[in-house]
Amino acid sequence: KNQVEQSPQSLIILEGKNCTLQCNYTVSPFSNLRWYKQDTGRGPVSLTIMTFSENTKSNGRYTATLDADTKQSSLHITASQLSDSASYICVVTTGTASKLTFGTGTRLQVTL
């Protein structure tokens, strides 16, 4: 069964600090991996998307990495801001573009 597991489930950090979120997947066949940010009461918004051949993808203070051999990905947030408080969801796509497997997300809270 295709699965995407994320850790930690929740995280609290001080403003200005860095953090790294983890994603492990068992989806096959692999097409691409996406990280989404979901603010409370809103729909997910795409941060990065990586194919099999890409190891790193950045979007401002967000940097995603992918190790296709170990089936692991991470999302690193640099110099966190209060507005980074949200859920971060890892999504893996199978060969069929319409089939996405979602992780349960990491809820990040950035505090003063």
Partner 1 sequence: NAGVTQTPKFQVLKTGQSMTLQCAQDMNHEYMSWYRQDPGMGLRLIHYSVGAGITDQGEVPNGYNVSRSTTEDFPLRLLSAAPSQTSVYFCASSYSGHDYTFGSGTRLTVV
* Beta carbon nearer to partner 1, 27 or 80: 27
Rounded to an integer, what distance in angstroms lies between the CA atom of residue 80 and that of residue 14? 8
User: What's the CA gap between 15 and 9, in Å, rounded?
Assistant: 19
9/70 with CB nearer partner 1: 9
User: Which CB, 41 or 112, lies closer to partner 1?
Assistant: 41
CA-to-CA distance for 104 and 102, rounded, in angstroms? 7
**49 to 78, contacts with partner 1 by CB under 8 A?**
49
Q: Tell which one of 19, 66, 89, 110 touches partner 1 (CB under 8 A).
A: 89
The residue length of the chain stands at: 112
46: number of Cβ within 10 Å: 11
> Residue 34, interface with partner 1 (CB under 8 A)?
yes
Instruction: Verify binding: residue 102, partner 1, rule CB under 8 A.
Output: yes
- What tokens appear for 83 in the block? 């507005």
Q: Which residues bind partner 1 (CB under 8 A)?
A: 4, 32, 34, 36, 41-46, 49, 89, 93, 96-105
